[in-house]
């Protein structure tokens, strides 16, 4: 996935009200950027760190920029939560991942009962519903999800179980927007209900696929599947 416009470099002053961030651009101008990440952004929030913003040419938007990434420990961490959905669509439609290849029809935002899944794919053999989550939190060698309690995420897991019971393929796809980790697990200390639900979902046949993505000012690309290794 390539960024459609050249990103703008700056340094983070602060993030506030969940969806706003003050940034000093390289020319000294202070601007307000929209932060799509509604979570705590734990382990990927550092005042004074380098950031990149994308310009927004929408007169209806109150902010002229969207915050895309932040440099933590000398590597970029993608914090725009809308990018993983775009990346997931590319992964499936362009056969970028063996586990999710071979589909002839790929759609975004498809409803199943009272839930809406990020990606739907099908071929002559099967129908597949894919839920996508953005992962940015890190603890040692682990990427962890979620970074805040997520009732919406819990609902999606329960619906994926129902998808599987109906005879369809059900996939929980985690896009890890950082490369300084080796393993994936749930943040059971933050949301034990979600952690328990993911274990239950896997036992019911829901596939769990954590994927590492390399983030740069030019774009975002998938690098490898990361093993899900529950912590002791």
Domain of 71, CATH number, reads 2.40.50.580
My answer on whether 70 and 99 are in the same domain is no
pLDDT on residue 115 = 87
**pTM greater than the 0.85 cutoff:** yes
- Give residue-wise pLDDT tens across range 93-147: 999 999 999 999 999 999 998 889 999 999 999 999 999 999 999 999 999 999 9
Cβ atoms within 10 Å of 36's Cβ, excluding its own: 15
My answer on whether 53 and 90 are in the same domain is no
Distance CA 170, CA 16 (A): 36
106 within some domain? yes
Distance CA 63, CA 38 (A): 16
The answer to whether the beta carbons of residues 54 and 6 sit under 8 Å apart is no
pLDDT on residue 57 = 85
pLDDT band for 217, please (50, 70, 90 cuts).
very high
Its domain, for residue 173, covers: 83-225
Mean pLDDT of 21-48: 95
Distance CA 166, CA 163 (A): 5
pLDDT on residue 4 = 87
pLDDT on residue 232 = 75
2 within some domain? no
My answer on whether 142 and 176 are in the same domain is yes
How many structural domains compose the chain? 2
pLDDT on residue 14 = 97
My answer on whether 215 and 122 are in the same domain is yes
My answer on whether 106 and 218 are in the same domain is yes
Distance CA 228, CA 98 (A): 17
Last-in-domain residue among 61, 78, 95 = 78
Distance CA 224, CA 212 (A): 6
- Give residue-wise pLDDT tens across range 47-87: 999 999 999 988 888 899 999 999 998 999 999 999 999 99
pLDDT band for 39, please (50, 70, 90 cuts).
confident
Could you tell me which of 122, 145, 147 has the C-alpha nearest to residue 210? 145
């Amino acid at each position: 996935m390539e960024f459609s416009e050249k990103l703008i470099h700056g340094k983070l002053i602060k993030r506030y009200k969940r969806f706003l961030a003050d940034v000093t651009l390289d020319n000294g101008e202070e601007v307000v950027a929209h932060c799509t990440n509604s979570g705590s952004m734990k382990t990927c929030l550092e005042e004074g760190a380098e950031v990149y913003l994308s310009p927004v040419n929408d007169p209806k938007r109150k902010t002229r920029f969207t915050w895309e990434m932040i440099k933590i420990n000398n590597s970029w961490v993608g914090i725009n939560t809308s990018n993983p959905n775009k990346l997931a669509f590319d992964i499936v439609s362009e056969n970028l991942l063996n586990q999710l290849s071979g589909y002839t029809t790929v759609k975004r935002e498809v409803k199943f009962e009272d839930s809406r899944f990020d990606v739907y794919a099908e071929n002559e053999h099967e129908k597949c519903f894919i839920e996508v989550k953005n992962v940015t939190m890190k603890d040692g060698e682990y990427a962890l999800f979620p970074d805040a309690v997520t009732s919406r995420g819990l609902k999606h897991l329960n619906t994926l179980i129902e998808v599987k019971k109906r005879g369809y393929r059900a996939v929980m796809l985690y896009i890890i927007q950082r490369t300084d980790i080796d393993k994936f697990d749930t943040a059971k200390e933050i949301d034990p209900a979600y952690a328990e639900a993911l274990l239950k979902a896997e036992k019911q046949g829901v596939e769990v696929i954590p994927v590492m993505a390399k983030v740069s000012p030019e774009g975002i690309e998938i690098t490898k599947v990361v093993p899900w290794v529950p912590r002791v």
